[in-house]
C-alpha cells in the first residue's frame, strides 16, 4: 500500500469529492472576477486532481487481497433520530473505484474540451461552476456507503442537469427542456425515496454493507418485500437512466451545450441507475420477478429507442436516442444476472459515447451551430481529424471488432443466449442491427457523399482547434483499446469486480462471468454479433452512399410508418394530452376554486368578521369618560330591569 505524508491513498478518498467541490466554490464565488483562462484552469484542475487521486486509490485497492478490497471511512453522524442513524461515510471497493475512474477521467476530458468549446460564452464561469458541481454530485453518488447519502448525490445530479440543460435559459426550448428533465426525474426519485423508507423499515439500517449482509436472512426469495424494494429502486433507475416510460426528458436534454450532453450521456447521470441496480445486486438476486422486469424494460427500450434513431435528422438527437438504447442494453444485462457485463458495457459506452458527442460538437462548432445532418455532407475533407475519431466511435458503438463496444455488447448477447433467454437475445440482436445502421447513416450523411451545406457554411467550415481535438484523440484511443479489459477468457474487469458482485462482501451472486460457456459457443456468437453489425453497416452503405435516392423512395412508399417513427411514436404528444394538460388544467381549477374561493375565501371571511367586530367595538372605545359613565349607567339600568322582570 502506498502512503502520502503518512496516509494511504484510501484514507484520502474524501479528497476525490473535495477537489471538484473546491472548484465549484472558487469559480462560483470568484469566477466573475477571474479571467476565462483562470476559470478554465481551476475547473479542469479540480477534476484532473480527482482523477489522479482515484487512480492511486485504485492502485492501493489492487494491493489488497481480493476478499478484502473494500474500504469504508466514516466522517460524522449527520442524522441521528431514534433508530435512524445516517453516517456521512464513503466506500471504496472495486465497483465504486471503477465508477470514479470513469467519471473523473471522462469528465476531465470533457472539461478540457469545454474550455475551447465554450470560450466565447458570456457565462463561462457559471458553466464551469455547474460542471464541477455536477461531477461532485456524481462522485458522491458512487462513493456513498449508505442509501440516504447516495440519494443526496442522486438529487445533486438531478439539480445540476436542470441547471446545465437549461444553461441557455434565454431560449424557451432550453428552459422547458431543463424543467422537463427535472420534473420527469422527480417521478423516478419518488420511487427511490419510498424504497429507502421500506429498506429502513425492513432492516432498521440504511448502510449498504449491513443491508446486503442481512438481506438473505431478512428477505424471502421472491418474497413481497424483496420484490417491492427492488421494483421501487428500479423506478428511480428508470427515471435517472431514461428508460421506458420515463425516457422522454433525455432527447430534449440536447438543448444544453454539447459538452453537457457528453457528460450527461456518457459519464454521469444516465449511468447512475445502472450503477444503483448493480450496487444492489444482492437484493435483486432475491427478487426474480424484479430481474425479469429489469430485463424486459431494458430490452424493449433498447429496441424502441433504436427504431426512433432511424429517422432523426438532428445529429445530437440521433446520439441521444442511441444513449437511451445503449442504457437499455445495460439493464438487459443486469436483468439476466450479468451485472459485471452491464458495468463493462457502461464503461466502454462512456468512451465511445463521449467521443461521439464531442465529435458532434466539433462538427457543430465547425459549421457555426448547424445540427441538421441534411445540411451537411462531405465534411471529411474539411475536418479530417474529427472524421477519423468519429469513425472510430461509430465502429465501436456498432460492435465491430476489435473496438470497445464489440466486446461488451457481444458479451451481453452471449449471456442472454447462454442462459436460454432467446427473446432477450432477439431484442438485443435486432437493436444491435439497427444501431449499426442508424449510426453509419449518421456518419455517411455528415461526413461522406456530396456536400449539402449552404455556400456560406461551406466557405467558413473548419477543423476544430487542438484543445477540442485532443480529448477526441484520447477517447478514440480508449474506444479502440478499452474493450480488451473484458477480453473473453482473460477478463480483467470480471476478476476485479468479482469480489463485489460474484461472491464478496456483499453476498454471492452470478455476476456474469461466462464460466459456463464453451469456447466454441463464445466464438460462434462473436461471429454472429459481428455479422449483425456488418449487415447494418452494409444496408446503410447501400442506402446513403451507393444509392442515395433510395431513402426518399422508401419514405414515399412507407410514409405512414416513417411519419410515426419520425414523430417518435407521438409519445410526447400522448403524455402532453393525457398527463401534462389535464394536470395543468386541474391545477388551474384547484387554484381558482379550492385555493382562491374556498381557502382564501375562508381566511378572508374570518378577517372580515374580525374587522367587523372591531368596527362595532370601536363605537364603544371613544376615549371620553362621560361616554363610559353613560355606558355603566345604562348597563346598570338594564341589569336592574332584567332582575325585576325575572322576579
CA 247, 248, 249, 251 dihedral sign is: positive
Q: Is the pLDDT score of 252 beyond 50? A: yes
136-159: pLDDT as tens digits: 999 999 999 999 999 999 999 999
Average pLDDT over residues 256-281: 90
Global pTM reads 0.89
What span, in angstroms and rounded, lies between the C-alpha atoms of 125 and 406?
Answer: 39
Q: Is the pLDDT score of 351 beyond 90? A: yes
Share of the chain above pLDDT 70, in %: 96
| Burial per residue of 391-428, b for 16 or more beta-carbon CB atoms within 10 angstroms, e otherwise | bbbbbbbbbbeebbbbbbbbbbbbbbbbbebeebbebb
Judge contact between 161 and 42, C-beta under 8 A. Answer: no
Q: Is the pLDDT score of 27 beyond 60? A: yes
The model's confidence at residue 509, banded by pLDDT at 50, 70 and 90, is: very low
| Predicted local distance difference test score (pLDDT) of residue 46 | 96
Average pLDDT over residues 24-48: 94
Q: Strands 71-81, 84-92: parallel, antiparallel or unpaired by DSSP?
A: antiparallel
| Predicted local distance difference test score (pLDDT) of residue 157 | 93
Average pLDDT over residues 373-399: 93
What span, in angstroms and rounded, lies between the C-alpha atoms of 53 and 101?
Answer: 9
Q: Is the pLDDT score of 607 beyond 90? A: no
| Predicted local distance difference test score (pLDDT) of residue 384 | 93
Average pLDDT over residues 256-276: 89
| Predicted local distance difference test score (pLDDT) of residue 508 | 40
Residue with cell 427535472: 182
Query: Which cell goes with 251?
Result: 432527447
Average pLDDT over residues 197-203: 94
| Predicted local distance difference test score (pLDDT) of residue 503 | 43
| Predicted local distance difference test score (pLDDT) of residue 506 | 38
Angstrom distances, CA of residue 18 to CA of 11, 49, 90, 626 = 13, 10, 12, 77
| Predicted local distance difference test score (pLDDT) of residue 504 | 38
Lowest mean pLDDT among 170-174, 223-227, 271-275, 301-305: 170-174
| Predicted local distance difference test score (pLDDT) of residue 2 | 58
Q: Output 601 or 247, whichever has higher pLDDT.
A: 247
Please tell me the chain's helix, strand, coil percentages from 3-state DSSP, rounded to the nearest 5: 75, 5, 20
| Predicted local distance difference test score (pLDDT) of residue 267 | 75
Largest CA distance in the chain: 118
Average pLDDT over residues 623-634: 76
Q: Is the pLDDT score of 512 beyond 60? A: no
Q: Residue 152's closest CA among 166, 165, 164, 139?
A: 139
| Predicted local distance difference test score (pLDDT) of residue 67 | 83
Angstrom distances, CA of residue 179 to CA of 162, 201, 572 = 6, 33, 15
Lowest mean pLDDT among 439-448, 449-458, 624-633: 624-633
| Predicted local distance difference test score (pLDDT) of residue 1 | 56
Lowest mean pLDDT among 94-103, 205-214, 260-269: 260-269
CA 131, 137, 140, 141 dihedral sign is: negative
Average pLDDT over residues 456-462: 82
Residue 91: strand pairing partners: 72
Average pLDDT over residues 171-179: 90
What is the rounded average pLDDT for all residues in the chain?
89
| Predicted local distance difference test score (pLDDT) of residue 593 | 83
Q: H-helix or E-strand containing 4?
A: strand 3-4
Judge contact between 70 and 505, C-beta under 8 A. Answer: yes
| Predicted local distance difference test score (pLDDT) of residue 3 | 57
Average pLDDT over residues 379-402: 94
| Predicted local distance difference test score (pLDDT) of residue 563 | 93
| Predicted local distance difference test score (pLDDT) of residue 643 | 81
Q: Output 517 or 513, whichever has higher pLDDT.
A: 517
| Predicted local distance difference test score (pLDDT) of residue 346 | 94
The model's confidence at residue 6, banded by pLDDT at 50, 70 and 90, is: low
Share of the chain above pLDDT 90, in %: 61
Q: Is the pLDDT score of 47 beyond 70? A: yes
The model's confidence at residue 507, banded by pLDDT at 50, 70 and 90, is: very low
Amino acid at each position: 500500500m502506498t502512503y502520502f505524508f503518512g496516509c494511504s491513498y484510501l484514507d484520502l478518498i474524501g479528497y476525490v469529492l473535495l477537489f471538484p467541490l473546491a472548484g465549484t466554490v472558487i469559480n462560483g464565488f470568484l469566477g466573475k472576477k477571474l479571467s476565462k483562462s483562470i476559470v478554465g484552469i481551476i475547473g479542469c484542475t479540480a477534476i484532473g486532481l480527482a482523477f489522479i487521486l482515484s487512480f492511486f486509490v485504485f492502485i492501493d485497492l489492487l494491493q489488497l487481497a481480493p476478499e478484502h478490497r473494500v474500504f469504508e471511512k466514516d466522517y460524522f453522524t449527520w442524522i441521528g433520530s431514534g433508530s435512524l442513524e445516517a453516517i456521512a461515510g464513503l466506500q471504496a471497493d472495486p465497483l465504486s473505484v471503477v465508477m470514479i475512474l470513469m467519471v473523473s477521467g471522462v469528465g476531465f476530458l470533457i472539461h478540457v474540451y469545454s474550455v475551447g468549446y465554450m470560450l466565447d460564452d458570456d457565462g463561462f464561469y457559471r458553466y464551469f461552476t455547474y460542471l464541477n458541481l455536477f461531477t461532485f454530485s456524481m462522485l458522491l453518488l458512487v462513493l456513498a456507503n449508505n442509501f440516504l447519502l447516495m440519494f443526496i448525490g442522486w438529487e445533486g445530479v438531478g439539480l445540476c442537469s436542470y441547471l446545465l440543460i437549461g444553461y441557455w435559459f434565454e431560449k424557451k426550448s432550453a428552459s422547458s427542456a431543463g424543467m422537463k428533465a427535472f420534473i420527469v426525474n422527480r417521478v423516478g426519485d419518488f420511487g427511490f425515496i419510498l424504497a429507502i423508507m421500506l429498506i429502513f423499515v425492513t432492516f432498521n439500517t440504511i448502510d449498504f454493507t449491513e443491508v446486503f449482509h442481512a438481506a438473505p436472512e431478512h428477505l424471502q426469495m421472491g418474497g413481497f418485500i424483496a420484490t417491492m424494494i427492488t421494483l421501487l429502486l428500479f423506478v428511480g433507475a428508470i427515471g435517472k437512466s431514461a428508460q421506458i416510460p420515463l425516457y422522454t426528458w433525455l432527447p430534449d436534454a440536447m438543448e444544453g451545450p454539447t459538452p453537457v450532453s457528453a457528460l450527461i450521456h456518457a459519464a454521469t447521470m444516465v449511468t447512475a441507475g445502472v450503477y444503483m441496480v448493480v450496487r444492489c445486486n444482492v437484493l435483486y438476486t432475491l427478487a426474480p420477478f424484479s430481474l425479469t422486469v429489469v430485463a424486459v424494460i431494458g430490452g424493449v427500450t433498447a429496441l424502441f429507442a433504436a427504431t426512433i434513431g432511424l429517422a432523426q435528422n438532428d445529429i445530437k438527437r440521433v446520439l441521444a436516442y442511441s444513449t437511451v438504447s445503449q442504457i437499455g442494453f445495460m439493464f438487459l444485462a443486469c436483468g439476466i444476472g450479468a451485472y459485471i457485463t452491464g458495468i463493462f458495457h457502461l464503461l466502454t459506452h462512456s468512451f465511445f459515447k463521449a467521443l461521439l458527442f464531442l465529435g458532434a460538437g466539433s462538427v457543430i462548432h465547425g459549421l457555426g451551430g448547424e445540427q441538421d445532418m441534411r445540411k451537411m455532407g462531405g465534411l471529411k475533407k474539411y475536418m479530417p481529424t474529427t472524421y477519423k475519431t468519429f469513425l472510430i466511435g461509430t465502429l465501436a458503438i456498432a460492435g465491430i471488432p476489435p473496438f470497445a463496444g464489440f466486446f461488451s455488447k457481444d458479451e451481453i448477447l452471449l449471456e442472454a443466449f447462454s442462459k436460454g433467454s432467446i427473446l432477450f437475445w432477439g431484442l438485443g440482436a435486432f437493436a444491435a442491427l439497427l444501431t449499426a445502421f442508424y449510426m453509419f447513416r449518421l456518419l455517411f450523411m455528415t461526413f461522406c457523399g456530396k456536400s449539402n451545406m449552404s455556400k456560406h457554411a461551406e466557405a467558413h467550415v473548419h477543423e476544430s482547434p487542438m484543445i477540442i481535438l485532443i480529448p477526441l484523440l484520447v477517447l478514440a484511443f480508449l474506444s479502440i483499446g478499452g474493450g480488451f479489459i473484458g477480453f473473453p477468457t482473460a477478463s480483467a474487469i470480471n476478476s476485479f469486480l468479482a469480489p463485489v458482485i460474484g461472491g464478496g462482501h456483499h453476498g454471492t451472486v452470478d455476476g456474469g462471468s461466462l464460466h459456463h460457456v464453451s469456447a466454441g459457443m463464445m466464438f460462434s456468437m462473436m461471429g454472429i454479433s459481428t455479422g449483425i453489425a456488418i449487415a447494418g453497416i452494409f444496408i446503410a452503405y447501400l442506402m446513403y452512399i451507393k444509392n442515395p435516392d433510395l431513402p426518399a423512395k422508401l419514405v414515399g412508399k412507407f410514409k405512414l410508418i416513417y411519419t410515426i417513427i419520425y414523430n417518435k411514436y407521438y409519445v410526447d404528444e400522448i403524455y402532453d394530452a393525457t398527463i401534462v394538460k389535464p394536470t395543468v388544467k386541474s391545477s388551474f381549477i384547484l387554484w381558482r376554486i379550492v385555493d382562491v374561493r374556498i381557502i382564501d375565501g375562508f381566511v378572508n371571511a374570518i378577517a372580515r368578521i374580525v374587522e367587523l367586530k372591531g368596527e362595532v367595538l370601536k363605537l364603544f372605545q371613544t376615549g371620553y369618560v362621560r361616554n363610559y359613565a353613560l355606558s355603566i349607567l345604562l348597563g346598570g339600568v338594564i341589569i336592574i330591569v332584567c332582575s325585576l322582570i325575572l322576579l
